[in-house]
Amino acid sequence: MIIEFLGGCDEIGREAFLVKDKNTNVLLEYGVELQPNIKLPLLPAVKIDGFFVSHAHLDHSGMVPLIYKFQNPTLYATPATLDLMNLLLEDYIKVAGLTRGFSEYQKYDIAKMNKNFKPCFYNQKFKIGNLVAKLFDASHIPGSASIYISGSKSILYTGDINTISTYLLDYKEINYPEIDCLIMESTYSEREHPDRKIEEKRFIKKIREYENGLVLLPTFAVGRAQELLLMLYSNGIKREIYLDGMAQKASDIILYHKKYINDDRILKKVLKRVNFIRTKKQRDRIIKRGGIVVTTSGMLNGGPIVYYLKKVRNMKNTCLLMTGFQAEGTPGEKLLRTRYFENCESKFKVNIEIQKFDFSAHAGRSGLFKLIKRIAPKKVICVHGENTKKFAVEIREKLEIEAIAPKIGEFVEL
């Protein structure tokens, strides 16, 4: 079995791994790196027999339609992943066209992708050529999966994975089969998360401080937005909540695929209470009246949050509470560091209170180590991280398991 690393190794973004075994070629992920600049993975130069996407986030799925410009491989993913991907991919085309003047794929490529989709369900074995595959729940976002492939060797690719329960998703320990090689996400290999309950209390307390003011909650559309809504509801926040931007459609899709989430009845109830915002007029009214705004984008690259921020940057009784990972070089990260918002269009100082909270959907450092220990693979390949090399060294030293951190363009033979 050969694994080629087409992208997403010592970086977060453009995940793409090609598995070649027993005359069968399987592509795991085909993502795009968005932050701070768009970067694409290497194109696979072989006929793909099976194409897997672990979950809908663009760093894992953003270039999937590009493959359908050349080939028609069957796409294996959960139905929730496909629907969420469609939302995010169409948005990618729109944003790419606006910001760069071109997109790597068009809507008809997405249509071709959809035509080749085969729905997959957790814990069900199926065949791809001469290999066997199985998806496991990864508890990262609705529909997210870890991917198991078995041929001359067996591998498990974690995808983005969480090992604790959240409001949106329940975590249950999984009994993985025996694994020769674990391809491991490493997002938080260097950091522990703060205690989630304490973090949540701090968050809710801060929201209550602005009871009569405006609270801006920039967020990723898929997963985090719904988690925040559930968190507000569960903590008895009774104020008006406004949902703006792509998080609206994402919420609808997640509610439709209700079997992936913890308790769809609560989410349904919450979404009924929430006001969906679509126009500038509505936004201006909210800015005047106050309330809680849950809106995209999570790293402040675009979306309605930029409009709000520009308008309220000097407004009293207003705060910005950031709850997601801020990649280096993004407007969100720069704002936290400098208190200046800056994108390609404008730069301004933001004088409202800004706070950062950690409600990550990734396993933290000790969660990752525990997971490796429990799976006990013969070898670990660290990917999807900012310091995968260091993580590999630590795995070798602490767990005495062979571990490597390949680079883009390299390959490994198992």
- Computed on alpha carbons and rounded to an integer, the radius of gyration of the chain in Å comes to 21
Query: Tell me, what DSSP letter sits at residue 220?
Result: -
Structure token pair of residue 383 = 């990917």
End-to-end CA distance of the chain: 5
Report in angstroms how near the CB of residue 116 gets to a second copy at its nearest: 14
**Burial of 202 by CB count in 10 Å (0-12 exposed, 13-18 middle, 19+ buried)?**
middle
Report in angstroms how near the CB of residue 182 gets to a second copy at its nearest: 24
Which residues of the shown chain bind a second copy in the complex (CB under 8 A)? 37-43, 45-47, 69-71, 100-104, 407-409
Q: How far apart are CA 112 and CA 17, in angstroms?
A: 21
The position carrying tokens 């997109």 is 103
Q: How many helices (H) and strands (E) does the chain have?
A: 13, 22
| CB 24, CB 49: distance < 8 Å | yes
Nearer CB in complex with a second copy: 41/213: 41
Report in angstroms how near the CB of residue 95 gets to a second copy at its nearest: 13
Nearer CB in complex with a second copy: 6/270: 6
Report in angstroms how near the CB of residue 227 gets to a second copy at its nearest: 31
Contacts of 225 (CB under 8 A, 6+ apart): 219, 243, 247, 250, 251, 294, 296
Nearer CB in complex with a second copy: 41/223: 41
Nearer CB in complex with a second copy: 119/409: 409
Nearer CB in complex with a second copy: 73/245: 73
User: How many residues are given for the chain?
Assistant: 414
Structure token pair of residue 246 = 């792509």
Report in angstroms how near the CB of residue 75 gets to a second copy at its nearest: 16
Nearer CB in complex with a second copy: 91/244: 91
Nearer CB in complex with a second copy: 81/103: 103
Report in angstroms how near the CB of residue 10 gets to a second copy at its nearest: 9
Nearer CB in complex with a second copy: 37/175: 37
Report in angstroms how near the CB of residue 401 gets to a second copy at its nearest: 27
Structure token pair of residue 304 = 């309605």
Report in angstroms how near the CB of residue 407 gets to a second copy at its nearest: 7
Q: The sheet that has 24-28: what strands, in order across it? A: 117-119, 74-77, 50-52, 24-28, 16-21, 2-7, 411-413
Structure token pair of residue 179 = 């694994």
Give SS3 for 22: coil
Report in angstroms how near the CB of residue 255 gets to a second copy at its nearest: 34
Report in angstroms how near the CB of residue 336 gets to a second copy at its nearest: 25
In whole angstroms, how far apart are CA 312 and each of 284, 349, 383? Answer: 10, 11, 39
Nearer CB in complex with a second copy: 93/179: 93
Report in angstroms how near the CB of residue 239 gets to a second copy at its nearest: 41
Dihedral (C-alpha) 104, 107, 109, 113: value to the nearest 10 degrees?
Answer: 120
Peptide bond into 251 cis (omega under 30): no
Q: The sheet that has 181-185: what strands, in order across it? A: 126-128, 131-137, 145-150, 154-157, 181-185, 379-383, 402-404
Nearer CB in complex with a second copy: 47/374: 47
For residue 213, list its beta bridge partners: none
Nearer CB in complex with a second copy: 47/191: 47
Amino acid letter for position 330? T
